[in-house]
């Protein structure tokens, strides 16, 4: 045991080996991950400020984006930095805190998946049943759905980690290690299979309706005389279609980032939470939280305008919440 650095030197027979100091190339990777973490928190904070401050952005769809930005913000602020730090140091907070800590990222990930399902439902109603959208999708209903989404995320993950709360340290082989095994089938079905199936089915339906709308609007383009009411209806449809395409990009990127982790679970492999394989796949999931606001900046002119106003500190002026953004 001479020369081996232990997490708990006073308990050499039970202690884990302390991680070796990172090499220069590893330090560069850690630095990059910390930059991504800070960028994730900063960009999503800008989304939160934009939608919360400007009243013109208080729409049902944007409230869903706000909920998604909140989960992504906490991912960048709390989860990613700790995950990076845990690869470099020993876990010193005990087995119970180990199980309790993993509850946070589990809840955030589940809330993100739930928000994606709600976004898909919102776009489905907007495209497939536009006449009833204002009555079926209201601000009050969306706020209730968002609260239920977060409540469900907390409840289901407390259920998944319940055994580890009762028997903390069940999967730890030595002191200084923090590993948590999850109820694989439950997590897979409730956290991935059912939500992703709903998202795919809804967007396939949206795609079919979008194609039929595009074909229906082609004759209107070549018509010389169009009534004002019909023209407004066509513009409204095009606006909804553009929003659907943008959110489809968000959902597609979400699936690309989340599928590797759950695909490994589908193969029947047992992935220990805290292992190097799990950390790599989880960071691919976490990176989705950084990509979402980048997508907004690329596709949403209102977000770019909000960025300019926030950076210029325009939001500190009285009455700035009434600024015309759209």
Q: Is residue 90 part of a domain?
A: yes
Give the chain's largest Cα–Cα span: 89
Q: Is residue 222 part of a domain?
A: no
What is the tens place of the pLDDT at every residue in 207-241? 787 777 666 655 544 444 444 444 545 555 565 66
Q: What total number of domains does the chain contain?
A: 1
- Helix runs in 161-275, H state only: 162-166, 184-188, 194-222, 228-266
Tokens 């019909």 correspond to: 230
Q: Is residue 10 part of a domain?
A: no
CA 196 to chain CA centroid, nearest Å: 14
Domain that holds residue 50: 24-217+230-322
Please list the helix, strand and coil fractions of the chain in percent, rounded to the nearest 5, in that order: 75, 0, 20
What is the tens place of the pLDDT at every residue in 45-56? 999 999 999 999
pLDDT of residue 221: 45
What's the whole-number mean pLDDT along residues 196-200?
A: 85
pLDDT of residue 222: 45
Query: Cβ neighbours of residue 255 under 8 Å, at least 6 residues apart?
Result: 196, 199
C-alpha angle 92/96/100, rounded to 5°? 100
Higher pLDDT, 138 or 192: 138
Nearest alpha-carbon partner for 1 in 21, 23, 18: 18
Residue 85 belongs to domain with CATH number: 1.20.1070.10
pLDDT of residue 224: 41
Euclidean distance between CA atoms 171 and 92, whole angstroms: 16
Q: Is residue 211 part of a domain?
A: yes
Q: Is residue 6 part of a domain?
A: no
Q: Is residue 19 part of a domain?
A: no
61 has pLDDT over 80: yes
The total number of residues written for the chain in this structure: 326
Q: Is residue 257 part of a domain?
A: yes
Euclidean distance between CA atoms 326 and 305, whole angstroms: 9
Residue 6 phi/psi, 5-degree rounding, is -110, 155
In the chain the first and final C-alpha atoms are separated, in Å, by: 67
Residue 44 phi/psi, 5-degree rounding, is -70, -30
Q: Is residue 38 part of a domain?
A: yes
């Amino acid at each position: 045991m001479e020369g081996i650095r232990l997490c708990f030197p006073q308990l050499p027979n039970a202690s884990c080996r302390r991680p070796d100091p990172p090499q220069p190339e590893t330090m560069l990777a850690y630095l990059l991950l910390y930059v991504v973490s800070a960028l994730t928190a900063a960009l999503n904070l800008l989304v939160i400020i934009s939608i919360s401050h400007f009243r013109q952005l208080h729409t049902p769809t944007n409230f869903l984006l706000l909920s998604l930005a909140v989960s992504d913000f906490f991912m960048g602020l709390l989860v990613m930095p700790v995950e990076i730090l845990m690869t470099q140091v020993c876990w010193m907070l005990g087995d119970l805190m180990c199980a309790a800590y993993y509850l946070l990222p589990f809840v955030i990930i589940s809330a993100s998946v739930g928000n994606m399902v709600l976004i898909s439902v919102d776009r489905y109603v907007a495209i497939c049943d536009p006449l009833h959208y204002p009555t079926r999708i209201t601000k009050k209903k969306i706020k209730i759905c968002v609260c239920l989404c977060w409540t469900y995320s907390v409840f289901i993950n407390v259920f998944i980690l319940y055994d580890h709360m009762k028997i903390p340290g069940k999967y730890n082989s030595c002191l200084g290690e923090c590993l948590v095994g999850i109820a694989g089938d439950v997590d897979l079905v409730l956290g991935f299979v059912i939500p992703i199936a709903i998202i795919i089915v809804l967007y396939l339906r949206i795609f079919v309706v979008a194609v039929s709308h595009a074909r229906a609007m082609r004759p209107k383009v070549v018509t010389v005389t169009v009534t004002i009411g019909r023209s407004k209806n066509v513009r409204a449809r095009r606006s909804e279609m553009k929003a659907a395409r943008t959110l489809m990009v968000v959902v597609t990127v979400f699936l690309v980032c989340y599928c590797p982790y759950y695909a490994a679970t589908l193969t029947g492999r047992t992935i220990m939470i805290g292992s190097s394989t799990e950390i790599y796949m989880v960071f691919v999931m976490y990176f989705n939280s950084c990509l979402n606001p980048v997508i907004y900046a690329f596709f949403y002119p209102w977000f770019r305008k909000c960025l300019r106003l926030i950076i210029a500190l325009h939001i500190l002026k009285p009455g700035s919440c009434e600024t015309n953004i759209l």
